[in-house]
């Protein structure tokens, strides 16, 4: 009488068109094929990256689509050949696959996988399964997957290599944030930048990703953490999580990087951009000290042409780095779950709202109005 091998009808949020609210619809979710897993989503956070694809500014989106890439759930059934998870296991789907065989998976230098590196824009990769078909249909139409995850559905199908199996007692309403926002910001600080004890740091953009970067800087032992946002409402939380100073570029009478350079006797050791866009990237570079300043880029700004930089910035000893998903993969995310359970970091502070899944448009409005850090949707 189980659902294994059968089509499941359930609710999902579909983006039919760019710039329009999502629609909660009944969808059919096909059973998993070889090396695929059908997952019942229990909780999912809403990340800024979900909104990029349905922005009218974004070109090349695959629509209609089921968004969502920060989810956690329970395996409902597995297709032939799946050995890493079984029905009933708790899992976090990851948008960076981990085949464990390719040159990237075998290298300690990256969390990438060959399957992730083929395309140019990860925002529109993994829109279909390996056989180039979708497992979702709605009203007779095939619906695209998103980031290989599509967490905004009560049931989804993902590849086995996109799953991290986590502890049975993990709190899915919190560890869903390890699927993107927390891991990205925290990992940007501790894995990519490798922030050092006693260092000075600047973090631009205080959403879920930037606040997590602040947690990472503090965990790494930074002595000064300067938090920057154009929305001063974000400052109390940044301070509570470890920021020592907060700056709003709109309230300064000179560029924020000049103010930071003055405050820090020549610039910070580490700067992390969690907002995106050429203006912030430029400030991120220019607020670091000559000699050894290290900039890490995380933020994505679609309408922006990117950074034009003078070679002198680098000749003077600065380093530029970027990160996708903070350096974590399917092998290391379960360890992050254990660290959370052991109290190494707190995720509650990032969750400003909890809403039933069908209120997803309310969650989008809260994010767009700068009123939320993370809304966790409960399915
Ligand atoms: P968010 O929208 O919750 O937070 C972004 C914050 O940046 C907001 O508080 C804004 O007010 C602030 N901001 C905007 N413009 C500026 C500016 N000029 N100067 C200072 N602050 C500014 O987003 P989020 O925290 O969910 O995500 C942050 C970015 O990171 C976003 O671009 C997202 O797409 C990207 C991201 N990247 C990865 C990755 O792996 N590289 C993963 C997840 C998210
Ligand atoms: Zn994300």
| In CATH, 8-179+347-378 is 3.90.180.10 | yes
Q: Tell the burial category of 238 from Cβ atoms under 10 Å away from its Cβ (0-12, 13-18, 19+).
A: buried
**Does the Cβ of 255 fall within 6 Å of ligand 1?**
no
What local confidence, expressed as pLDDT, does residue 59 receive? 80
What local confidence, expressed as pLDDT, does residue 123 receive? 67
Task: Give the separation between CA 78 and CA 56, rounded to whole angstroms.
Answer: 36
**Does the Cβ of 376 fall within 6 Å of ligand 1?**
no
Q: Fold for 185-323, please state it.
A: Rossmann fold (3.40.50)
For 256, the enclosing helix (H) or strand (E) is helix 256-263
Contacts of 307 (CB under 8 A, 6+ apart): 278, 281, 282, 285
The DSSP secondary-structure symbol of 31 reads P
What local confidence, expressed as pLDDT, does residue 119 receive? 67
Nearest-5° angle of CA 228, CA 229, CA 234? Answer: 110
Cα(151) to centroid(ligand 1), Å: 20
Pocket test for ligand 1, best of 299, 307, 352, 376 (most atoms within 8 A of CB): 299
Q: Tell the residue nearest (CA) to atom 10 of ligand 1.
A: 205
> Is 49 a known active-site residue?
yes
Structure tokens at 99: 């085949």
The ranges of the chain annotated as CATH 3.40.50.720 are 185-323
Task: Give the separation between CA 229 and CA 314, rounded to whole angstroms.
Answer: 25
What local confidence, expressed as pLDDT, does residue 138 receive? 98
Contacts of 88 (CB under 8 A, 6+ apart): 74, 75
What local confidence, expressed as pLDDT, does residue 117 receive? 79
Which residues in the chain show pLDDT less than 70?
1, 119-120, 122-123
The ranges of the chain annotated as CATH 3.90.180.10 are 8-179+347-378
Ligand 1 atom with the shortest distance to the CA of 373? 3
Ligand 1 atom with the shortest distance to the CA of 279? 18
Q: Per-residue pLDDT tens for 185-218? A: 999 999 999 999 999 999 999 999 999 999 999 9
Query: Helices 256-263 and 278-286, interaxial angle, to 10°?
Result: 20
């Amino acid at each position: 009488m189980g659902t294994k091998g059968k089509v499941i009808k359930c609710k999902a949020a579909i983006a039919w068109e760019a710039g329009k609210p999502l629609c909660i619809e009944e969808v059919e979710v096909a059973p998993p094929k070889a090396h695929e897993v059908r997952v019942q989503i229990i909780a999912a956070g809403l990340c800024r990256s979900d909104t990029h694809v349905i922005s009218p500014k974004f070109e090349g989106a695959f629509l209609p689509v089921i968004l969502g890439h920060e989810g956690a759930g329970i395996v409902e059934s597995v297709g032939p050949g799946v050995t890493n998870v079984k029905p009933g296991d708790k899992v976090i789907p990851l948008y960076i696959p981990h085949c464990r065989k390719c040159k990237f998976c075998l290298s300690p230098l990256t969390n990438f996988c060959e399957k992730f590196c083929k395309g140019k824009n990860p925002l529109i990769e993994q829109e279909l399964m390996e056989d180039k078909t979708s497992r979702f249909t709605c009203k007779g139409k095939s619906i695209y997957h998103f980031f290989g995850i599509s967490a905004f559905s009560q049931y989804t199908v993902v590849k086995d290599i996109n799953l991290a199996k986590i502890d049975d007692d993990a709190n899915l309403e919190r560890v869903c944030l390890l699927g993107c926002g927390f891991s990205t910001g925290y990992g940007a600080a501790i894995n990519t930048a490798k922030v050092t004890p006693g260092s000075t740091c600047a973090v631009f953009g205080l959403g879920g990703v930037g606040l997590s970067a602040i947690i990472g800087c503090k965990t790494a032992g930074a002595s000064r953490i300067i938090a920057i946002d154009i929305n001063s409402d974000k400052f109390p939380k940044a301070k509570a999580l470890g920021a020592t100073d907060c700056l709003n570029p709109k309230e300064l009478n000179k560029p924020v990087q000049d103010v930071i350079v003055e405050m820090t006797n020549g610039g910070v050791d580490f700067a992390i951009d969690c907002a995106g866009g050429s203006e912030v990237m430029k400030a991120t570079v220019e607020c670091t000290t000559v000699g050894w300043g290290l900039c890490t880029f995380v933020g994505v700004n679609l309408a922006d042409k990117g950074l034009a930089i003078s070679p002198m910035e680098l000749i003077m000893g600065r380093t530029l780095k970027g990160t996708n998903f903070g350096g974590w993969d399917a092998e290391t995310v379960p360890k992050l779950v254990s660290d959370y359970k052991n109290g190494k970091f707190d995720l509650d502070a990032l969750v400003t709202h909890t809403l039933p899944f069908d209120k997803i448009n309310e969650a989008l409005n809260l994010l767009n109005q700068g009123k939320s850090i993370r809304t966790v949707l409960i399915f």
